[in-house]
Structure 1
Amino acid sequence: MAQLDNGGNPPNKLAFCTMGMFIIDKIEYLSNAQASQDRIIGGAGTYAALGARLAAGSRLAASVGWIVDMGSDFPGEFKRLIEAWRTSCVFRFDGARLTTTAWNGYGDNEYRAFKYLTPKLRLDQDSLSDDQLLARSFHMVCSPSRCISLVHGILDRRRKLLQHTATDSAGGGAAAEADRPIFVWEPIPDLCTPEELSRLREAAGYVDVVSPNADEFESFFSEMPGYSSRELMVEHLLGLASRNGEQKPPLRTALVVREGAQGCTTYLGSTKGLHLRAYHQSKERVEDPTGGGNTFLGALAIGMTGTTAPGEGILNNLDVLKESVYCEKRLLLGLVHATIAAGYAIEQIGMPNVSTEDGDCWNGEAYPERFRKYIEREREHIIVQLSSPCG
């Protein structure tokens, strides 16, 4: 497999790397006469990289790391579009295979069907370059067992790499210790089932953020009548209360439940969640929700590293922030960036348009401007929640 770089100048240490794939999407609308869409840029990895790139801004774009596996049918215009983002994307070409392609079927009531049309090529820790391996945050979309495997694999490889680097450095000395990266995990929808509930909690203990959407989260408890409310579900996952005499140590993991048009609610050390409204409050601005969740989580991951534009300073007028648990690991900063970035992803089919000549505008509007508008609009809603004793 030949490997090609995008020609950019990656930073000494990437702020973000996604383990998700690039996919060429085919979209079919099952319940109306809307024309089918062919050859659309997609994939969880692509959208996550988009979210991280939106939050990073043009100056920090090279801090976004990801991999695009190109088959013999990979369109040249796709590569040119991705290069325009100026991320540290690694393009890998293999003329002996087709690019991973998938079919998406959309129906009424947010119904979605999905299947692969060509063999997929998943990424793991051995797929990563040294620079990618040392990223400060990782996005994963996978099963609970694969989540645990990836975390172990990434940390083991990082440790070995740093020990080797320390041994080779002048003067020897003790092996360098890497800061633990931030892990943001998105469970795959097919395994959001009652049978996977125990494995969900086990895997959640390995990551900083676990983020199903609302329907997926409830699906874990669909055959458990004793869990009839969101509060009870959160308690069970995060171990905030004993049930039937069972004691579980509480997790410090943040549970971020993505709620589509209603925004998101985050639980961290309490069943009283922090709710953020979605950026778009009108359905007229939403063309296609595909990739909105992946984009959200890519922006959240890099936001938690602080490698963003705008940075933490823009939240200073949220005067209770320093006293809130949501200040930990820049979680609130990441959540706001996630909300803004997801709004760009769903305004069209495929990727938003970027114009670097106009100040890094996406779909004709600069990202920092949207961020400021959102903070001004939602300031009171956020402050009221952060001011609560349980916040």
Structure 2
Amino acid sequence: MRVGGSGYRSTIMTLTGSKTFVTLGMFIIDEFSFTDSAGSTTSDYAAQQIGGGGTYAAIGARIWLPPRDIGMIVDKGYDFPSDIESKLKLYGDDMWLFRSQTQAQTTRALNIYKGDQRGFQYLTPRIRITPRDLVKTPLERPRSLHFICSPARASVILSEVPEIHGWNPFVIYEPIPDRCIPEELPALVAILPSVDVLSPNAEEALSLLTTPVVHPLSRSSVEQAAARLLELGAKDTVIIRSGALGAYVLTRKAGGRWIEAFWTESDASKIVDVTGAGNSFLGGLAAGIELNGDIFEAAFYASVSASFVIEQSGLPTVMPDNSGHWNNDSPGRRLEALKTRQKAR
């Protein structure tokens, strides 16, 4: 089942940007707290780690595309650790636009794990990024634009796009988790016609729609949520990322299809840390659309990108031998293996 064959590709290729994919997601230095349900510390973690949804999205695209095709702004506060820039450059100098913020701290956040519950809080003021920040930089007018924020913030971002002459990006939007609440639904509905791909995860989608979140999640509840979001005015495509269940891709023209996760619950030893998996999925999706043009096929690329991110804490390793391998494995091999597995079922 295809979305108009090359329809997505033809839409993107008519745009004039020099970059294939740019994310407006922030660079964040992550810190961590692990406790049990009673509040006792259960494990130690790296004192600081490269993070941010934008960073993971950029890496998800980088698994498939060369650095010159990807872009992200990295704001360097006065406390920016010197080793982080060199670590980021291992993925390619051309990906990152470093900006010096001499009067501000680097954005930091605390990831709180308490039993099975997860929390997140910023430790410093956020340095937000908008389309205006891309003007007169190498990141100006990319063919695909990704952002993670509240629906209200998304409206501000989308209002700036027409200011940039000749730019009509393919928009990939994921609502920020803590704003996936029923009160935000009207603001979301208002921007849906301007979003090419809307992609919350399953719990976020159900929460937005006031649907009780029942574990384990069922495919039927995810499908119903996607259909409802399409009814509410999504421009063309809703993708609900659903962990081990895979991802449900629903389009107006070609209906819906499940794309399997590369690593499933039976591969528990391979699933180390799911932080950033959804962000990297969407970076991989943008790369897949660029390379293939079909939204369902692109979702296979996205699933493979997520598979590399969850194998360790932090970012995956790109092999330095120019082989195109990550974590000592080939993305292309995983792509074919995933397609073959899905066809067999």
TM-score by length of 1: 0.75
How is 1:28-107 mapped onto 2 (pairs within 5 angstroms)?
A: 28-31=33-36, 33-56=42-65, 60-86=66-92, 87-107=94-114
Structure 1: runs of 5+ lacking an equivalent: 1-10, 163-177, 240-247, 307-311, 313-328, 382-391
1:245 is matched with none
Does residue 272 of structure 2 align to residue 287 of structure 1? yes
Letter in 2 for 1:119: P
How is 1:161-180 mapped onto 2 (pairs within 5 angstroms)?
A: 162=166, 178=167, 180=168
TM-score by length of 2: 0.85
Q: Structure 1's 232 and 294: CA in aligned 2 closer, same or farther, altered over 3 A? A: closer
Tell me the percent identity: 33
Q: Structure 1's 354 and 71: CA in aligned 2 closer, same or farther, altered over 3 A? A: same
1:309 is matched with none
1:342 is matched with 306
1:356 is matched with 320
How is 1:180-329 mapped onto 2 (pairs within 5 angstroms)?
A: 180-222=168-210, 229-239=221-231, 251-269=234-252, 273-281=256-264, 282-306=267-291, 312=292, 329=293
Tell me how far apart the structure 1 counterparts of residues 211 and 223 of structure 2 sit (CA, whole Å).
17
Q: Deviations along 1:207-263, whole A, 9 cap, x unmatched? A: 110111101111012279xxx954553343212xxxxxxxx7x64421100101221
Tell me how far apart the structure 2 counterparts of residues 44 and 28 of structure 1 sit (CA, whole Å).
19
Q: Deviations along 1:164-206, whole A, 9 cap, x unmatched? A: xxxxxxxxxxxxxx5x321000001111111122222222211
Q: Deviations along 1:322-377, whole A, 9 cap, x unmatched? A: xxxxxxx5212321111000011111111111223150221111222222222222
1:24 is aligned, of 22, 26, 29, to: 29
Q: Structure 1's 372 and 99: CA in aligned 2 closer, same or farther, altered over 3 A? A: same
2:294 is aligned, of 327, 330, 335, to: 330
Tell me how far apart the structure 1 counterparts of residues 251 and 243 of structure 2 sit (CA, whole Å).
20
Letter in 2 for 1:352: P
2:145 is matched with 138
The structure whose RCO (Cα within 8 Å, separation 6+) is larger is 2
Contact 1:234 1:271 in 2 (8 A): no
Counting matched residue pairs gives 316
Contact 1:183 1:207 in 2 (8 A): yes
2:216 is matched with none
Tell me how far apart the structure 1 counterparts of residues 223 and 76 of structure 2 sit (CA, whole Å).
44
Q: CA deviation at 1:90?
A: 0.6
Tell me how far apart the structure 2 counterparts of residues 280 and 348 of structure 1 sit (CA, whole Å).
13
Letter in 2 for 1:15: T
Contact 1:137 1:305 in 2 (8 A): no
> Secondary structure of 1:273's match?
strand
> Secondary structure of 2:340's match?
helix
> Secondary structure of 1:52's match?
helix
Q: Which moved more, 1:228-237 or 1:253-262?
A: 228-237
Structure 2: runs of 5+ lacking an equivalent: 1-15, 213-219
Letter in 2 for 1:78: I
Tell me how far apart the structure 2 counterparts of residues 151 and 369 of structure 1 sit (CA, whole Å).
37
Q: CA deviation at 1:55?
A: 2.0
Tell me how far apart the structure 2 counterparts of residues 233 and 65 of structure 1 sit (CA, whole Å).
32
Tell me how far apart the structure 2 counterparts of residues 361 and 199 of structure 1 sit (CA, whole Å).
41
Tell which structure's C-alpha radius of gyration is larger.
1
Contact 2:17 2:141 in 1 (8 A): no
Q: CA RMSD in A?
A: 2.3
1:108 is matched with 115
